Chain A
Amino acid sequence: MRILVVGGGTGGTIVANNLARRLSAEIRSRRVRITMLSASDRHMYQPGLLYVAFGQMTPDQLYRDQASLLEGAIDFHVDPAVQFQLDQNKVITQSGKVYEYDILVMATGSRIVPEQVPGLVEGAETFYTEATAVKMFKRLREMQEGTVAVVVGVPHKCPIAPVELVFGLHDYFKARGIRDKIKIKYHYPIGRIHTIKEVATWAKPEFDRMGIEYETLFNVSEVDVKNKVVRSEEGTETQYDMLIAIPPHRGMEVIETNRLGEGGWIPTDRFKLTMNGHDNVFVVGDTTNLPVSKTGSAAHFQAEVIAENIASMIKIGTPVRDYDGKVYCFIETGHDSATYAMFNYQNPPDLKPPSKPMHWFKMSYNQMYWTSVRGLL
């Protein structure tokens, strides 16, 4: 049985490690082989980018060698997939190698596409890459007064990030003693300040208390870099001195070029996590088209289901459980407090008051991630 995992991010790594442990006997007896293909020899802890943008972490703290995170039995290659021949159970890589599989796990992730909004690349700061997070922090340090506008592209990874960013901005400028000279204006695509009703209900009075202005039903359409104005599809505009964008995302280009899913998102069964029409192809994390948060947390819980089901298919001939839509998101509510949102397909989140211990837990998790992605936590 040949299991091929394409992608070495959170989802792919947890699937591969979990499988390697569940199937250790089968791997030793050469009845099972696990191969991983990735575009990089490094693994980034992406949630850390927000801390980089506030000068609380440095980029080198975000990385580990991918090989060091994988169980020894996993055959790992830095050789990204370029062509998928699903009807023949084959994947062709950049180097020209052909990988045949019996079970394929698609874990290619997502990418930012700020270029889809005219002016956004030139006019906005963002923190979704190492370079732009560092640049954003340098711009924040230069700010002495004026308006910081926050805009949110759709769809975007980590739906909690917009509110975490705003709370972080408030605390950052407060710590510098210039909060009264900075106007923070937040713009959000739908008719409340966060897509999760419970988060919006909780955050609105917090925004009011902190003096944060907000405009809802604002889908960024263009940035007039010269005049420092950001405009919305809904016909409104905001003048800014510093613009920070949560950039819109798409699935990876290789998914689009292989016509595996519109927007680069693969059509996926929300319970089985298999690609529609392909029972031997599993899809995890950002790669899916599921109406589920694009977060490492969702990828983690999905990866556990996928690994358990693949292992049970090999051992007893059938998958054993469905994905229930579980997501658990920390919400940093400033630089010294946090809460969390946990929900699934059937149960909405029940937000608890922010606390310092929850912030410390999040800070601990920033290190515990490396244990988690190894599949040990």
Chain B
Amino acid sequence: MSDTKIVDARDTFCPGPLMELITHMKQSSVGDTLELLSTDEGSGADVPEWVNKVGHEIISNEKIDGVWHIKIRKAK
């Protein structure tokens, strides 16, 4: 497994945090771990919704000092 790749999508409205995450997931290999940083209030729910639906894995999901830190492992 490679190191955790940071996807810094703080303070962005377009393409937005989830779209940024999908872009980086497509560039990653199965087993890679990505950590999304987002200041979008909705990310705490929006991102897990997509990750679970598509079949990847949420490792952790927490908000620290106003920033969502969501770790995802690419499963397929």
On A, residues with C-beta under 8 Å from B are: 154-155, 159, 189-191, 195-197, 217, 219, 233-235, 248, 262-263, 291-294, 325, 327, 329, 341, 343, 345-346, 348-349
- Return B75 CB to nearest CB of chain A, in Å: 11
C-alpha gap A191/B52 in the complex (Å): 12
> Is A217 in contact with B15, judged by CB distance below 8 angstroms?
no
Q: B19 contacts which chain A residues (CB < 8 A)?
A: 154-155, 159, 189-190, 195
Q: B53 contacts which chain A residues (CB < 8 A)?
A: 217, 234-235
Partner of B22, one of A190, A263, A292: A190
> Is A291 in contact with B49, judged by CB distance below 8 angstroms?
no
**B13, B23, B42, B53: residue with the most chain A Cβ atoms closer than 10 Å:** B13
On B, residues with C-beta under 8 Å from A are: 8-9, 11-20, 22-23, 26-27, 42, 46, 49-50, 53-54
C-alpha gap A295/B23 in the complex (Å): 16
> Is A191 in contact with B14, judged by CB distance below 8 angstroms?
no
C-alpha gap A197/B18 in the complex (Å): 12
> Is B26 in contact with A292, judged by CB distance below 8 angstroms?
no
- Nearest to A292 among chain B residues (CB) is B12
> Is A195 in contact with B14, judged by CB distance below 8 angstroms?
yes
Known: A219-B22, A219-B54, A234-B54. A196 touches B46 (CB 8 A): no
Pick 18 A–B contacts, CB within 8 A, sort by A: A154-B22, A159-B14, A189-B22, A190-B19, A190-B22, A190-B46, A191-B49, A195-B18, A196-B16, A197-B13, A217-B54, A219-B22, A234-B53, A235-B53, A263-B27, A294-B15, A325-B12, A329-B14
- Return B73 CB to nearest CB of chain A, in Å: 16
- Return A261 CB to nearest CB of chain B, in Å: 10
- Nearest to A192 among chain B residues (CB) is B46
C-alpha gap A292/B14 in the complex (Å): 6
C-alpha gap A279/B9 in the complex (Å): 23
C-alpha gap A195/B38 in the complex (Å): 14
Interface of B is mostly: helix
What would 5 more interface pairs be, CB under 8 Å, given A154-B19, A155-B22?
A155-B15, A159-B14, A190-B22, A234-B53, A291-B17
Q: A233 contacts which chain B residues (CB < 8 A)?
A: 54
Q: A234 contacts which chain B residues (CB < 8 A)?
A: 53-54
C-alpha gap A271/B16 in the complex (Å): 17
C-alpha gap A155/B23 in the complex (Å): 6
> Is B18 in contact with A190, judged by CB distance below 8 angstroms?
yes
Q: Closest 4 CB pairs between A and B?
A: A291-B12, A195-B16, A345-B11, A155-B23
Known: A155-B19, A263-B27. A343 touches B49 (CB 8 A): no
- Return B40 CB to nearest CB of chain A, in Å: 8
**B11, B14, B20, B54: residue with the most chain A Cβ atoms closer than 10 Å:** B14
Q: A292 contacts which chain B residues (CB < 8 A)?
A: 12, 14
Known: A154-B19, A291-B12. A191 touches B46 (CB 8 A): yes
> Is A154 in contact with B23, judged by CB distance below 8 angstroms?
yes
- Nearest to A189 among chain B residues (CB) is B22
> Is B46 in contact with A325, judged by CB distance below 8 angstroms?
no
> Is A291 in contact with B9, judged by CB distance below 8 angstroms?
yes
- Nearest to A293 among chain B residues (CB) is B14
C-alpha gap A217/B53 in the complex (Å): 8
- Nearest to B46 among chain A residues (CB) is A191
C-alpha gap A329/B18 in the complex (Å): 20
> Is A154 in contact with B8, judged by CB distance below 8 angstroms?
no
> Is B11 in contact with A346, judged by CB distance below 8 angstroms?
yes
Q: B18 contacts which chain A residues (CB < 8 A)?
A: 189-191, 195
C-alpha gap A105/B22 in the complex (Å): 28
